[in-house]
């Protein structure tokens, strides 16, 4: 599943096409939960991202694309597999595959809180800390994947942030010292931008310290377990990452 930085890359790639506010000249695809002809001859007002969601904003509605586990896209190219949604403009086309596509009525700002997005200019660390304190019994490995707190954080970022902050994934929020709460929040944003940089350089996996690793940078053995309510694969170092009581 693409994490927030990967969606930012898609947004930036499309904006590099200098489309401006293009008119949709043709719509293709097998999307069935709304009438795709609604998009025909409409002008795109903006391309946005919120966490793991890619947003195509029109005047009074927005198309939301969630790539789920196996979604993909092509710009000015096509696959042989069936397209979920394809938008053809005067000079360019966007094609989305194996993804979830929804139509949101009204202004996009009515649907999203931009302060939650770790990649957004509007990101608020104080809001994140406040929300964390409202979940005292939650495990950090679960809260980091809560898109209403850390929109855009996925499993790779979760694992790397916990190692950077030296926080064991099975800590409860209420047990973390204030300094560690702040570190958790700050590293979530810092690592997301490092992720973006390394992803653009095709070097992301070279910088993994615990994710899919057998040893941490200090040569300690990495544990691999499905943890928390989410049961997501978690990589951690028992020696480097502390449990607070």
Q: For the sheet containing 72-75, what is the strand order?
A: 26-28, 85-88, 93-97, 72-75
**SS3 state at 233:** strand
> Phi then psi for 236, rounded to 5 degrees?
-155, 160
Angle at Cα 86 formed by Cα 85 and Cα 90, nearest 5°? 155
Distances (CA, A) of 40 to 21, 43, 44: 14, 9, 11
* Ordered domains of the chain (ranges, CATH): 4-112 (3.20.190.10), 124-236 (1.10.8.50)
| pLDDT classification of 15: cutoffs 50, 70, 90 | confident
Distance, in Å, from the CA atom of 239 to the CA atom of 242, rounded to the nearest integer, reads: 7
Residue 229: pLDDT over 80: yes
Residue 18: predicted pLDDT: 74
Residue 43: pLDDT over 90: yes
Residue 1: pLDDT over 80: no
Is pLDDT larger for residue 174 or for residue 18?
Answer: 174
Residue 68: pLDDT over 80: yes
Query: Which range among 14-28, 150-164, 188-202 shows the weakest confidence by mean pLDDT?
Result: 14-28
Angle at Cα 135 formed by Cα 130 and Cα 139, nearest 5°? 120
DSSP states of 153-197 as a string? Answer: --HHHHHHHHHHTTB-TT-BGGGS-HHHHHHHHHHHHHHHHHHHH
Q: Which residues pair with 235 in a beta bridge?
A: 224
Residue 219: predicted pLDDT: 97
By CB atoms closer than 10 A (0-12, 13-18, 19+), residue 18 is exposed
Residue 111: pLDDT over 80: yes
What is the tens place of the pLDDT at every residue in 147-191? Answer: 999 999 999 999 999 999 999 999 999 999 999 999 999 999 999
Beta strands in the chain (DSSP E): 26-28, 46-50, 53-57, 61-66, 72-75, 85-88, 93-97, 100-105, 223-227, 232-236
Residue 21: predicted pLDDT: 86
pTM for this model (two decimals) = 0.92
Look-up of token digits 């309510």: 229
Residue 57: predicted pLDDT: 96
Look-up of token digits 């700002």: 109
Residue 77: pLDDT over 90: yes
């Amino acid at each position: 599943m693409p994490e927030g930085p990967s969606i930012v890359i898609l947004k930036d790639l499309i904006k590099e096409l200098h489309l401006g506010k293009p008119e949709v000249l043709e719509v293709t695809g097998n999307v069935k939960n709304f009438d795709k002809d609604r998009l025909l001859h409409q002008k795109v007002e903006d391309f946005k991202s919120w966490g793991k969601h890619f947003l195509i904003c029109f005047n009074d509605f927005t198309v939301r694309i969630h790539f789920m586990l196996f979604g993909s896209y092509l710009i000015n190219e096509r696959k042989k597999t069936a397209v979920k949604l394809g938008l053809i403009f005067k000079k360019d086309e966007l094609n989305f595959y194996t993804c979830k596509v929804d139509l949101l009525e009204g202004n996009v700002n009515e649907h999203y809180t931009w302060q939650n997005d770790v990649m957004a200019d509007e990101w608020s660390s104080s809001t994140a800390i406040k929300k964390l304190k409202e979940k005292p019994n939650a495990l950090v490995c679960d809260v980091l994947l809560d898109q209403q707190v850390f929109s855009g954080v996925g499993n790779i970022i979760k694992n790397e942030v916990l190692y950077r902050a030296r926080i064991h994934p099975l800590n409860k929020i209420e047990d973390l010292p204030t300094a560690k709460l702040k570190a958790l929040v700050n590293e979530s944003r810092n690592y997301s931008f490092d992720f973006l940089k390394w992803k653009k350089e095709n070097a992301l996996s070279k910088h993994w310290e615990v994710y899919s690793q057998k040893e941490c940078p200090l040569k300690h053995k990495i544990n691999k377990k499905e943890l928390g309510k989410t049961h997501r694969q978690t990589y951690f170092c028992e020696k480097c990452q502390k449990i607070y009581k």
